[in-house]
Every structure is written in C-alpha cells, then in structure tokens.
Chains A and B, each alone.
Chain A
Amino acid sequence: MSNKLPPDIAQMPSKPPFWRDAEKRAIAFQVVALLVVAFVSYYLYSNTQANLERQSIATGFGFLDKEASFEIGESLIEYSAADTYLRALLVGALNTVKVSFIGITLMIILGTLIGVARLSSNWLISKLAASYIEVMQNIPVLLQLFFWYAIFYESFPPPRQALNPFDGLFLCNRGVIFGVPETHAAHAVMGWAFLAVLIGSVFLSRWAHKRQDLTGKAFPTLRITALAAIGVPLLIWLAYGAPTAMDVPALSGFNFRGGVTVSPEFSALLLGLVIYTSAFVAEIVRAGIQSVGKGQIEAAMAIGLKPGQRLHLVVLPQALRVIIPPLTSQMLNLLKNSSLAIAIGYADFVAVTNTMINQTGQAIEGVALIMLVFLFFSLSTSLFMNWYNKKMKLVER
C-alpha cells in the first residue's frame, strides 16, 4: 500500500490563507473585541482616576469602618448610630432581603390564586380576576406605592388614639403593633425542633417515593410532616412548663414600647410590590396551566386519579416547565423594584447607601456597591431558579 497522494491533490496548497479560514477569522475577531473592551475599560478607569485626583476627591473603601452616625428606622440586627458604615449597609441589605423574600413568597401565592381564578368557569370570579390583572398591571408601581403609603398615614389615627380591635393589637399611623410571647429558653429549642422536622421530612419523602416505586403503596408524607411540625414544638413547649408570658405593647411617651411593630413604610412597600407583580404572575400561571393539553387531564381522569392527584401528578409538572422561566424574571423584577423604597421612606439598601454617599461623598464607591449587591441578589435568585427549572424538566424515558 502506498501512502502517497495523487499528484493533483498534493499540489493543492495545504492550508488556505488565514482570512479564508472561518475558524481563525473567528478567533481574530474575538481577540480584537477583547482588546477593544480592555482598552475602553482601562481608558474609563484611568480617566475617572485622573479626574478624581484633579478635583482632589478621596477614593477607596477606607470609609466603611468609620462611624456611620446616623440612625436607621428599622433593622433586623442590633444597630445604633455608633456603629460603622459597613454595619449600616448590612442593615440595609438585610432590609432589602426581608421585603424581597416575603414579597416573592406572597407574590407567588397571590399570583397563583388569581391565575387559577382567571380560568374559573364561574363568570364573576373569572371577570374579577381579569379586571384585577388589567388594572394592577397597568398602573406604575411607584404610584401604587405612594397610594398604599398615603392610605396608611392618612387613614389610621395617631398613636394616642390607636385602634385596639382586641387585646395586644394596635393599629395606628405608626404601623401595626402586636404582642409577642416574651423570650424564653423554650422558643429556641422549638425553632430547632421545627427545622429538624422539616429536614427529616425530606428524607421521609425520598424513602416514601422509593417504597412506592417498589411496592406501589403510597405513604401520607405530607400529613405526617404537618402533624410533626406542629406536634413536636408543642410537646417541647409543654415540657418547658408552657410559658405564656406575653410582651404586650403599651403606649409610653410618643410611641408604643414593647411588642413587634410592622412599620407603614414596610407594609406599603410590600403591598405595592406584591399586588403589582402578582398581576404578572397570574398571567404566567394561566398560560402555564393552559399549555397542558386537555387530553392529559382526560387521560388522568380515565385512569382514576383524584382531582388533587391530577393537579399534583399530571398538570403541575407540565405547567411548571412553562411557568418557571418567566416567573424567575418576575421575581427579579420584584427584587429590583424594592429599591423604590426610598420614595416612601423604607430603609432598604439603596436608601442607606444614598445617605452614606451624602455623608462621605463617595458616590462612585456607593453606586458600585449598589450594583454589586443587587447583582449578587439577582444572580443568586436566578441560579436557584435555574437549578429548580432543571429539576422540573420533563424526564424523558
């Protein structure tokens, strides 16, 4: 056997010139693009630095451990004006997380309810849901925030004439104030027990699934988990002698002392964000449910699945495929819109950073921090949702 090529092929140039080679051309374009980006960012950076220096504006993040010396209205952690800017920023970030987390949870619940109501065969319910969606979707969210905030401070009485519908609950223009059980050693143990039950339920449900796959016998995981989640902490509470002391709010001086206060700013922001965004979620849920073929449901009926099982085993797994990606973007919307807090005085991350920028003048650093923190929150949310989306994908066999 000869390895020699026929003469006419050997004479052909072994390689085309590189600008004719699509692969090399692509690499060249990439390199050029990279260089341009690098040049532009270097230019922007050095230009900013030079300008800042020329105007003798201080730069750097050194100011973060200086004393903040301003108060923040509400905080999840201990904070006073004597703490550092870093801690003030942490307070702001936690406030953003608080409103976003509760907001996203409520948004999904309300959105799902309205989305399902929109599909109801009852004319009244369906039309009510439709008008809710149309109205709330089309009013700018900032306007809604002002509206809810005004309702709180205009329509509730001042603290000295607070509404007191029943013992331990007060409604006034300083917020909703209610009594909570006084701190007791039992509470921490109860909390841990509750968490342990939740973790245990994950393993239980895995085991139950496996058993059902093998033997076909169903196991009431949900009912047992619910029972344990209520029962175990209750037993612990009884074991500690059932402490019932309450921390009841009482009017002293200007405001209420004791108990827990939900501020009008937080409530207005939460209401505005949830009501606005859930209108979008409702439409997404409706689209998801409608995307499941009628035949699927009829087939499920034919094999004798109960309505709950039909929803849980047939409709939802298929609808979620359609629902999750746009739902993720609505979650991110709510998260980002929470920065409108400053308009109605809720101390979120942007509001705290704004104060910091003004006291220190470190605008570039402050804005960079805002971008970083929101990027981090958004990316973590979408990372989690992408993982969930993958998990919910149709398993093709």
Chain B
Amino acid sequence: MKLVKVIAVAICMTMLMVGFANAGKDLDSVKKKGYIQAGVNGGVFGFGMPDEKGVWKGLDVDTARAIAAAIFGDADKVKYIPLTAQQRFTALQSGEIDVLTRNATRTLSRETQLGLNFVQVNYYDGQGFMVPKNLGVKSAKELDGATVCVLPGTTTEQNAADFFRTNNMKMNPVVIESTSELAKTFFAGRCDVLTSDASQLAASRSIAPKPSDYIILPERISKEPLAPAVRHGDDQFFDIVNFSVLAMINAEELGITSKNVDEMLKSKNPKIQRFLGVIEGNGKALGLDEKWAYNIVKQVGNYGEVFERNVGVNTKLGLERGLNALWTEGGLMYSPPFK
C-alpha cells in the first residue's frame, strides 16, 4: 500500500511540475529552439504563400524573415505555420507560434481581451468591394440587396454589416471558411460582390480566370492597419519584433538597400553608422548582435524593396505604394530615430 501511495504522490508531483515549468520568456525559448515559429496566411498571394517550389514568399513572410535575421543573423531560421483566420490568435496565445505575421488588423479588443501586442504596422489597408465589371456598379452605395461573399471570423464580416446598415441597404452574406474556396465561388457567380481587405481582393483577382473582368470599387469602408503581433508577457521580444519591422522602414528612409548595404558600412553619416552597428549600442540595448540591422537589410532588404518584390506595381498584384509610402512621399511609413 505504501508503495502505491508513494507512486501516486510522485505522479501528482510530476504533473504539477510539468504544469508550472512554463518556459520563462518567449525570447529565451526562441533562442533555445534556434528558430522562430511564425504564423502566416498560407493562401494569400503576395503576403504569405509558398511558391511552386515550396519556398514561402510574401510581405508577411519577409517580415518574419527580418525578425529571424535580427535574432539569429540568418533569415532562413523561420518555421512557417499556415493558419486560418480563426486559428491565428489562439495559436499565438497558446504558444504554438512565437509571432503572428498574418495580415492581422490591430484593434483595441485584440490588444486587451486577447492579450496580444501589435507592433509597427507593415501594411496599411482598408476593406473594399470587388464586383464583376458587367454588373455595371460604380459605387458600393449601389449594392442594396446584393449577395456578398465574405471570409468568416475577421473584422471583415462586421465591417460589411456595419456599412450596409449605415447606408440602409440589405445584404445577403455567403460565408466560406477557406480563402481559395471563397474566391472560386465568387468567380463562378454565386455572389455579386466579394469583400475583403483591398490587398486581398487584388491578390484574389490575380488568380481569377480573367482578372480584367473584375473591378475593385473606390470605397474603403474600414481602416485596416495590418501588423505583426506577439503575446503579452515578454517586453524584450516585443521590442525586437517591433524594431525589426521599423529597421526595414528606417533603412529605406536612409537610402540603404540590400545591394548597397556593404558600401554603406563605410558611410560617414553617424545615423547610418549607428543603424548598421558601426557605432555600437543599438544591438546591446535590444539584447542582440550589433549587426542585427545590417543582417535584416542584407538578407531581406528595406521596406521599399520588400513591398515592390511582393505586392508592388510590377507584380501580379500591381498595388501602388499609397498609404504605404514613406512619410516623406505622402505615405504613413515613419520610423522613430535609431539611437
């Protein structure tokens, strides 16, 4: 009997230990693993999707690569986990991923009730409507009674409902879980309208049977600041993720690209010297190697390069910089000083 008791107590204790032995800080666990686990979209061309060779490509993917470059000096130390809109926050909360780079809109309730911290916005977006050209619709205000294809579980559903309500119009939603299935349904004519963030509409249109048959209406019915997110509880990791995104913007402001970064090391400009770690200090402050920003620019590029490579006018998406241009060029991208 005694033996049984001892074993029982031992089992209980072990269970308790397992429960309380929570890995201390997110940064420690990331460093221990040797790679970061990033939650990405998996199905949106230009933002997060594997190419035909299985290599992950996209604006959000490059953001995750920048974080890996900052921490490990190697942008390839990322494990991508494709997530649906429903799974993404739970995956981050539960620790299945370290950082969420999956075009998620920063909102008050997500920061507070979901226990997340959003970092610098990496794409300023707004929800729009796409319709077939032959419908003859010129404005979203003419959509009364329309059947609308919507992705579930995002702010998209709510925004669309709000827009139709405020304009005294009726809508008939069709809500399908997978982005690609939803787009197929729309292109087959099940719905009159497809609504999503304008960038996603452009991405969907690029895979339409005849992209030129569809137009994106001019109205933007919501503000969608898309930003990477981490969970509450590790401020140092938050800082690193935040400044990894900002570093790409700052590099563009300073005119540093992946091509000229090695020459820039010899620059006499103290701002550039501080940024690239020639004058030391920033790396130590973040708890990283002094070369962290150099590694980001060298291996991933500055924000402008990343934008043009993934979603810019010369890609299938063909998006203008718009709000995502630098503040000096009329956009919203602005980096605090790196000192």
| A215 nearest CB across to chain B (Å) | 61
Please state if B161 and A69 are interface contacts (CB–CB under 8 Å). yes
Complex CA distance for A352 and B214, rounded to whole angstroms: 29
Is the CB of A164 closer than 8 A to any CB of chain B? no
Is the CB of B93 closer than 8 A to any CB of chain A? yes
Please state if A359 and B189 are interface contacts (CB–CB under 8 Å). no
Complex CA distance for A81 and B182, rounded to whole angstroms: 22
Task: Using A47-B19, A355-B157, A357-B86 as known contacts, say yes or no to A173 and B188 having CB atoms under 8 A apart.
Answer: yes
Please state if B176 and A343 are interface contacts (CB–CB under 8 Å). yes
Please state if B144 and A56 are interface contacts (CB–CB under 8 Å). no
Please state if A265 and B188 are interface contacts (CB–CB under 8 Å). no
Complex CA distance for A154 and B186, rounded to whole angstroms: 10
Is the CB of B178 closer than 8 A to any CB of chain A? yes
Report B-chain residues with C-beta under 8 Å of the C-beta of A253. Answer: 144-146
Stretch at the interface among B47-55, B164-172, B238-246, B318-326: B164-172
Stretch at the interface among A5-13, A70-78, A221-229, A289-297: A70-78
Is the CB of B110 closer than 8 A to any CB of chain A? yes
Task: Using A81-B161, A355-B153, A358-B154 as known contacts, say yes or no to A55 and B189 having CB atoms under 8 A apart.
Answer: no
Which B residue's beta carbon lies closest to that of A57? Answer: B115
Please state if A73 and B158 are interface contacts (CB–CB under 8 Å). no
Query: Which B128-153 residues sit within 8 Å CB-CB of chain A?
Result: 143-147, 152-153
Which A residue's beta carbon lies closest to that of B193? Answer: A254
Please state if B154 and A174 are interface contacts (CB–CB under 8 Å). no
Complex CA distance for A19 and B16, rounded to whole angstroms: 30
> Helix, strand, loop or mixed for chain B's interface?
mixed
Task: Using A71-B171, A73-B175 as known contacts, say yes or no to A55 and B190 having CB atoms under 8 A apart.
Answer: no
Is the CB of A264 closer than 8 A to any CB of chain B? yes
Is the CB of A383 closer than 8 A to any CB of chain B? no
Complex CA distance for A239 and B144, rounded to whole angstroms: 41
Which A residue's beta carbon lies closest to that of B162? Answer: A69
Is the CB of A109 closer than 8 A to any CB of chain B? no
Report A-chain residues with C-beta under 8 Å of the C-beta of B171. Answer: 71
Is the CB of B231 closer than 8 A to any CB of chain A? yes
| A317 nearest CB across to chain B (Å) | 46
Is the CB of A331 closer than 8 A to any CB of chain B? no
Please state if A358 and B144 are interface contacts (CB–CB under 8 Å). no
Is the CB of B218 closer than 8 A to any CB of chain A? no
**Beyond known contacts A72-B173, A154-B188, A345-B176: 17 more, CB 8 A cutoff:** A43-B19, A70-B161, A71-B161, A81-B165, A153-B185, A173-B190, A253-B144, A255-B146, A255-B147, A343-B177, A344-B176, A351-B152, A354-B153, A354-B177, A358-B153, A359-B153, A360-B113
Residues of B within 8 A of A (CB): 1, 12, 15-16, 19, 85-86, 89-90, 93, 109-110, 112-115, 143-147, 152-155, 157-158, 160-162, 164-165, 171-178, 181-182, 185, 188-190, 192, 231-233
Residues of A within 8 A of B (CB): 19, 39, 43, 47, 54-58, 69-73, 81-82, 146, 149-150, 152-154, 158, 173-174, 252-255, 257, 264-265, 342-345, 347, 351, 354-355, 357-361, 363
